[in-house]
Structure 1
């Protein structure tokens, strides 16, 4: 076994792929590699050294050492979002492509017999499959891409440069209990303020391929606004804390606590 090397790891997954018929799945598989290749070319990310593992409804890519982390973390998702808007224009809703995208970095073994062994690969796949990211993409129906980056990349790249506004990222704990996985990560949707929207609406708990439940509008009382079952993180939190959770009811009834 050769020594591992440190790489950026990228994965993308098509929303609601399994619910499409055979023809639409075929069209997705034709379009996805072309769109990702076009995005790389526009950003000057040379394909030399990219190790891409297709999965039918997505891709896992191990990026060559020396690839610009700043470009991949802050510019790739907006570029893919624009290209998908062009692709989806005029298509029926069931034929449109929307993506979940994850970026992480870490040690990877490039000599695996059936893929790329390494915790970094497992982590980025878990991030993209997390219900928190799926719910964020459902919440913004006009977005074509929902990006999730590991806390390490957010702190090293997003927070220090002005390519994307850090306060528009939503801090979450990406959780897959059945996989014993929990990790702090940050969600961004190009053109949207994920953090501000979540301060008003909780992330709906939904299973894959199910629409998010409707969220009741806020109601006002004599004392001002009443917020119900809200959890806010990071820049969206109220006051000077990092996490704020409130439980209440608009009609003054005794609050329900889980």
Structure 2
């Protein structure tokens, strides 16, 4: 029997990864994982986005978010980012340094094939490579007082950032060129809120990205870009449960499975319940994970 795929849907795609997640203690990872959802919902409401209209997929050390097609990208780059900053600042003031949460946030737009809880998309894969690229990680590492770094695709930069819409400063973005593990040159555009320009990145030369691999050097060393998400070794597959909000967001239907490098594998996962009320104010501290 031939299976005919459904028509793809266009979405604004947001990917958030927690910096150095895999280096933390397991109890710390649990706290950060839970609080990330409080941070995300707070930021969505700040951007006047209904969380119930956004599809959310858990990635272990981060979150993949599909915003509705009618979402204004300017709200994502302006209000969503500001909401993330405010929530992360509150998180920093609530926890000790070991629990500090800093994020790499990516924005792209493209087609997504959705069959129930299964998502496949070159646009998602491209965004994962951007968020996990070496220059993006390096910029956040050098921005010691920043809460997050934002990277957008070349297409989003051309269509949105360069439009000079209120609250979005093109001068604050610099290109981040890297080569994927398959030897493909890629470019993203990086900004670090609170900095006039992202630390650690050279000024824009105006040249297109190219494969800067030196003779005898393995492809991809111009910048790391794993397809499975940050917090792991580049390119390593990360099983991640798929999570959707529903109903009143406190006990909605949640379906789980594994996605490994874009392939769907059915499997059982522990169910994570999300308290949607926490995001209506500042993110709430959950002390159950750290024993305090």
**Same fold, TM-score > 0.5, yes or no:** yes
CA–CA separation in structure 2 for the residues paired with 1:77 and 1:174: 24
- Per the normalisation by structure 2, the TM-score is 0.65
1:75 CA drift (Å): 2.7
CA–CA separation in structure 1 for the residues paired with 2:132 and 2:94: 28
Aligned residues: 203
Give the match for residue 131 of structure 1.
Answer: 134
Give the match for residue 190 of structure 2.
Answer: 187
User: Contact (CA 8 Å) 2:173, 2:190: kept in 1 or not?
Assistant: yes
> Residues 62-211 of structure 1: matches in 2 within 5 Å?
62-89=66-93, 91-111=95-115, 115-160=118-163, 161-176=165-180, 178-194=181-197, 197-198=199-200, 203=201
User: Contact (CA 8 Å) 1:73, 1:149: kept in 2 or not?
Assistant: no
SS at match of 1:116: strand
Q: Which runs of 4+ in 1 moved over 3 A?
A: none
CA RMSD of aligned residues (A): 1.8
Residue 125 and residue 96 in structure 1: after superposition, are their counterparts in 2 closer, same or farther (change >3 A)? Answer: same
SS at match of 1:233: coil
1:56 CA drift (Å): 1.5
1:175 CA drift (Å): 3.0
Provide Cα deviations, 1:85-116, integer angstroms capped at 9, x if missing partner.
11111533221000000000111101166x31
User: Contact (CA 8 Å) 2:73, 2:160: kept in 1 or not?
Assistant: yes
Question: Are 1:233 and 2:203 an aligned pair?
Answer: yes
What are structure 1's unaligned runs of at least 5 residues? Answer: 204-231, 244-258
CA–CA separation in structure 2 for the residues paired with 1:181 and 1:75: 33
> Which of 31, 35, 59 is the matching residue for 1:55?
59
1:128 CA drift (Å): 0.6
Residue 186 and residue 107 in structure 1: after superposition, are their counterparts in 2 closer, same or farther (change >3 A)? Answer: same
User: Contact (CA 8 Å) 1:9, 1:63: kept in 2 or not?
Assistant: yes
- Per the normalisation by structure 1, the TM-score is 0.73
> Which of 36, 40, 63 is the matching residue for 1:36?
40
Q: Which has the higher contact order (CA 8 A, sep 6+)?
A: 2
Provide Cα deviations, 1:228-255, integer angstroms capped at 9, x if missing partner.
xxxx332xx5xxx659xxxxxxxxxxxx
Q: Which moved more, 1:146-155 or 1:84-93?
A: 84-93
User: Contact (CA 8 Å) 2:46, 2:80: kept in 1 or not?
Assistant: no
User: Contact (CA 8 Å) 2:42, 2:83: kept in 1 or not?
Assistant: no
CA–CA separation in structure 2 for the residues paired with 1:46 and 1:182: 36
